[in-house]
Amino acid sequence: MSGTPFLKMNGLGNAILVVDIRDQGRISSETARHLAAQPRTAFDQAMVIAAPRTPGTDALVTIYNADGSKAGACGNGTRCVAYYLGRETGKSELLLETVSGLLAVTNADQEMITVDMGKPRFEWDQIPLEEPFADTTGIELQVGPIDKPALHTPSVVNVGNPHAVFWVHNDPDEYALDRFGPLLENHPIFPERANISVAQVLAPDRIKVRVWERGAGLTLACGTAACAVAVTAARKGLAARAATIVLPGGELQISWRESDDHILMTGPWELEHEGTLDAELTEEGAA
C-alpha cells in the first residue's frame, strides 16, 4: 500500500485523525492545519504515530490541534491510537510515549479502552500560570460583570496539558462558552494558553461538563478535561475519586487511584473511515 495511512475516528464525538508515519510521511504544523480544513480528514486533534523512541514503548505519538499547535496530551485521541495499534498487533496492553510522558493502555482490543493518564500536577508553575498562586483549587480569575461574575475562581491543573475548570450551579449549557472560551483560553494568566471547562456537580459521582479546547474550540468531548474535572472536584471535596463525566458527546469514567496518584480514563472509540493521505501530503496540498 502506498501513501501514509490515516483513520478518521472520534472519541465521544471529539474528532480525531490518526496518521501513521512509521513507514513514510511527515506532518508539520502547516500540514496539520491543512488536513484539519479538508472534509475527508477534518479533526479537532491529529494523533501522529511514529516509530518508538524509547525501548519498551510501542509508538511515539505527536498531537496536533486543529489550529496546528501541538498538545502534550489528548485522552480521546489516545484511545483511538490504542484501537489502531491494538488491531494491528493483537496486543491488549500498550505503552505510548508523548512529549508529556508515557501512557499505559489496557483493553486496547476492547470496545472500552482504559488509559493511565499519569499523575495530575497542581503547582502554579506546572500548569503553568504566569504568576504564583499558593492555592490552585481556585485562582483569582473571572469573566463577566465584576459584581456578578458569570464564571469565576477556576481550579487549575495540568494533566499533560493545562486546564482551568469553572464550577457552576446551573446547567453548563446555559453559559456562553463560545464567547468566554476564547477570552479565557488566551488570558495572560495562562502563558501556554489553557483548555477551559464549565462543570456542574450532579452527584458526588457524576459531573456534567462542557469544554472549550485550546487550539480547537468547542468540542463534543475532551478526555483530558474529563480527567481535569474529576481530580479537581475530588481535591475540592465536591466529588469522589471515581466519577462519571458527562460530556455533550457521551460519558467517560474517570478514576483517580489512591495508591499511586494516577488517573485512569475509560471510554469508547469510533472508526468513521480510513484510507491513505496522498494528495493531502504533496507540497501543493500542504501549502
Ligand X SMILES: N[C@H](CCC[C@H](N)C(=O)O)C(=O)O
Question: To the nearest 5 percent, what fractions of the chain are helix, strand and coil?
Answer: 20, 35, 45
Q: Name the strand (E) or helix (H) holding 182.
A: helix 177-185
Site mask, ligand X, residues 144-183, x = CB under 6 A?
A: -----------------x----------------------
Q: Name the strand (E) or helix (H) holding 36.
A: helix 29-36
Among residues 85 and 222, whose Cβ is nearest to ligand X? Answer: 222
Phi then psi dihedrals of residue 228, to 5 deg:
-60, -45
Angle between helices 75-89 and 223-236 (to 10 degrees): 120
**Catalytic residue (choose from 222, 228, 229, 246):** 222
The two beta strands, 151-152 and 195-203, are unpaired
**Catalytic site includes residue 227:** no
Among residues 72 and 204, whose Cβ is nearest to ligand X? Answer: 72
Per rule CB under 6 A, is residue 223 in the interface with ligand X? yes
Residue (of 208, 209, 206) closest to 195 by Cα position? 209
**Catalytic residue (choose from 27, 47, 74, 227):** 74
**Is 107 one of the annotated binding-site residues?**
no
Report how far residue 127's alpha carbon sits from residue 41's, in angstroms, rounded to the nearest whole number: 31
**Is 170 one of the annotated binding-site residues?**
no
Q: Which residues ranging from 181 to 200 are in contact with ligand X (CB under 6 A)? A: 195
Q: Which residues ranging from 228 to 287 are in contact with ligand X (CB under 6 A)? A: none
Which residues of the chain form contacts with ligand X (CB under 6 A)?
14, 44-45, 65, 71, 74-77, 161, 195, 213-216, 219, 222-224
Catalytic residue ranges: 74, 222
Q: Would you list which residues are annotated within the binding site for substrate?
A: 14, 45, 65, 75-76, 161, 195, 213-214, 223-224
